[in-house]
Structure formats: structure tokens, C-alpha cells
Homo-oligomer: A and B are copies of this chain.
Amino acid sequence: MQIAPHSHAGGHPPATRRLRPALFQGLTTPEMRLVRRVFTEDLYDDAEAVPRDPARAPFVGLLLDGCLREDAVLQGGERLFALTFPGETLSPLGPRRRRGRLSAIGAVQLLTCDRDGFERIAQEVPRLRLNLLGLVQEHLTEAQRWQVLLGRKSASERVASMLNWFHARQGAPAELHLPVTRTELGQMAGLTMETVSRQVRALEKAGVIDLPLPSRVRVIDPGALHSLSGDAQPQRLH
């Protein structure tokens, strides 16, 4: 793997790190030391692809910094399918997703482990296997959240939901970073870029967010964002 000499200046602010990433939950300090020896830090430049062939693809990965995008290949074109933010994990790939493309957005720092290494360390730290299963389940949950969004929500709810999720996943910073174009947001949400644009600006006009630049979103009213997302409990009167 190669070294990217990027500094962090000008990038998005480092995410508020969770207590411990899900992959390493419940591990003791000596166990963590063992784990650290098996995992390696890979660096990627902007737009560089993460390998996906079974021989070189990371078996599991923990994103330390930067963003990753996953593009799916379907008949005709590629479409942005998912984003990964710092603190989140890459889980092992099924055969279908291997056809897609995984690439860096900005300078990316990724903590990875191959399958053999994982098997070895899992012998000593069985908890890791449980955590891995949990990760994949987490991805399933996430996929089902998108199913609800795509199946049942209106355009305004979809956009509010996306912003709300990204905001939360970035650690609820004052200013969230949208590392993709309106077209790509639309690909994820099942909308056209025009509709995304209109809904984002409607949120701005409503005072829920501020848009110093199209890719920078200051969240003024997180509560409103949540209730506009359609995920909130329906407000009952009295």
C-alpha cells in the first residue's frame, strides 16, 4: 500500500471518536495489543480505489480518517450506493458487491486485516468473531433503513433523513461535510439532482440548515431535521 502525504489541514474536522469501534468492542487492553499487531494501516489518495479482488481486498477494515464511497455497477452505469465515514467499518464482501467499486474521497486512512490474519487472531480473541457478525448485521440494518427511505418517504423526508444520518454518523459536528455532488446524493436517495437541490434549499429557507457552500452544511436545528425526516414518532397532541 502506498503512502499519501496529505496533511489534514482544510479537510473536514476529525469525527468525534466513539468510545471504541464496534469491531473492537469488549476487548481488553492486552487483547487490543495483539490485535494491533495483525492490523495494518493503509493510506489512499483521493479517488484511489480500494482493492476488491479476493486476493488483495481487506477482509475487514476500520476507517480511521477520510471517507469512502461504494459505487454499484448495474446495467448501463455506475451509481453511488453508500458512503462510509470515519469510525465505521468495511465488512467482508459477498460475491455481488465485489463487482462494485470502493474508492477514497480525500485522503483516507484505513486499518485493515486480511482473512488469514483475522482467522489467526480470532483463535486467541474469540470475541472478534462475534463483533464481525455484529458488523455485518449493522450493515443489514442500515440497508433496511434505506429500504424504508426509498419505499415510503417523500422527497423532502428523504433529503432530511440523509442529512440527519450523515450528521449523526459524522459525530454531530457544527458543520457537516457532504463529500458528493447533488447528482450522487440523488442516486442514493432515488431522486434527481434537481429535486435534491430544491429540497436542500427548502431546508435552508426554513432555517433548519445553513449553506455557506453547496458541500458544507451547517445544521442549525437538528431537532427539526429529525422530525422532518419522518423517523420521529408522530407528535401526539395533549
Chain A residues with CB under 8 Å of chain B are: 72, 74-76, 79, 81, 92-97, 129, 132-134, 136-141, 143-144, 146-148, 150-152, 187-190, 231-234
Contact A144 B141, beta carbon cutoff 8 Å: no
B96 touches A190 (CB 8 A): no
- How distant is the Cα of A146 from the Cα of B149 in the complex, in angstroms? 12
Contacts of A232 in B (CB 8 A): 75
Alpha-carbon distance A81/B151, docked complex (angstroms): 11
- The 8 Å CB contact of A140, one of B94, B148, B231, is B94
Residue of B nearest to A97 (CB): B141
- Report chain B residues within 8 Å CB of A143: 140, 143-144, 147
Q: Which residues of chain B are within 8 angstroms of A94 by Cβ–Cβ distance?
A: 134, 137-138, 140-141
Q: Which residues of B contact A187 (CB under 8 A)?
A: 151
The answer on a CB contact under 8 Å between A144 and B96 is yes
Q: Which residue of B lies closest to A153 (CB)?
A: B190
Bound Cα distance A79, B133 (Å): 26
Select which of B75, B140, B148 is within 8 A of A97 by beta carbon: B140
- Contacting residues, chain B, for A231 (C-beta < 8 A): 75
Q: Given the complex, which residues of B lie within 8 Å of A97, measured CB to CB? A: 137, 140-141, 144
* Chain B, residue nearest A132 (CB): B133
Closest Cβ of chain B to A201, distance in Å, is: 22
A139 to B138, CA, bound (A): 12
Can you pick out 8 interface pairs between chain A and chain B where the beta carbons lie within 8 Å of each other? A75-B231, A81-B147, A94-B134, A97-B141, A97-B144, A140-B143, A150-B150, A151-B188
